[in-house]
Structure 1
């Protein structure tokens, strides 16, 4: 992996368009409640491309990769095309706690604690199930690499512990045909919704580097977590703006075409919203590939007005029931 260069100064943003007809998840008639990306092998649609050669026999993935590189190379000035493999972390202990206490009680009380009743979820680790979910993704990549799936040129990862653990279990030890190695590149803006919930408060940079010495932190990554606030939960509009900024940065600085982003359900939902993709729910450990065309615009991304905090809500029946 070549570390992306810092974004240049100046006002710009990207306008995004999802190209349909390539992945089943981008099609409007695909039911996300029943879709199994493992059985569907990431959801690549079996089809022909204008760039296919009748004289050669190749796998669907190889035809796809050649076609996408052709589209990218022939893009107009200021445009680029990338395939984003968006992976949600496997089950974490915060997911277990929310299931145990119920969403209402979790949101209004337990999510603000570091842990309770023998469960620790501040910057949560993966559970055993979460580890197995990530290993299943590893097995899928291992299988599809033999079929010619293009190797991610950069492995972007959220700085939260559960996402780094997920990326490691998903990609470490894979034999990439082009000799590329898995090297996780940590991006601060790739995080889950900020504030209030301790599971979304990251560890210090020094702790992250001590725990995961193989990772690379992006330039300017602060030692303490400067984004998480104890009493203000980031609204959806602000989260989508933040993830839009992340995509601006990636499309501006990374020449790669095939990229992996290991993140969180809320962050992935905001990425899908930012690029104009249909809403698509992912189970813990799920992966969705998205083909995106981007056009550079020499104006700043419009920042939404600051909205009230999305939490914590007032505790009602849920805590009353627990008290009894």
Structure 2
């Protein structure tokens, strides 16, 4: 008979093998991120059958902004896998019941997950929500913006990137309040090569408040390949008061970066902020609007209406770099 329990350190090799069997193309990323959660064992639920884990899921509490911009404790559910030879036996359904109880006891206001198989979760109380997406062929190369330089960010730029992100997302619904550990442990995983973070800077002129020649950060954009000839713009942050010029330079540079990697088209997962909308022709020759429905939410301690207001709020976005 199957046994349902939380994980222990001794389970780690078997869990890595399970993820490798279930996700042959992304098991390394799943295991790496899971291994960077210090409290992972108590928050990992598994089904054991025949002396081995055959199904698993994991949650991590994350501070996510509500529709009013107030951070809430949210149970983010991921690493869900069932071995191919153990599917169809109700393991995930039982694990979802256990993790729902655990997240509620952990004082999570609601739960968030992203999936391409929503029917697995509907019966356990999660409901899908949509997010806007634009797609189209890449725009032709354009002239560089005078006074603004765009380069690939390095680990030395993390303080600047963090400051830009914190200011841009001060009250944006559905965004995660990133910690220093997130920047060290998670962002390098999601935006490491072949993905890239491009940083826009303005050279400070003599006589201004900063030292002459010092580069002032204006914003950043994250670009990642999604196929042989396609890229995605997965995140953006723009300095206050400089949004339009930063967005224009960044989206032009994003198109150039994607083109250099062999892409001919791109998808854009960004909120329709005025500066982003105005700069889109720098990235896409023509844009086709659509929606995705990968996100799912389940109320726990928060009222259902409050959760719905968060995931459907104007400008709400969950950045790819906060994936779990």
- The bucket for the TM-score relative to the shorter chain is under 0.3
What TM-score does the superposition give when structure 2 sets the normalisation length?
0.28
Higher strand share: 2
Q: Which has the larger radius of gyration?
A: 2
Higher relative contact order (CA 8 A, sep 6+): 1
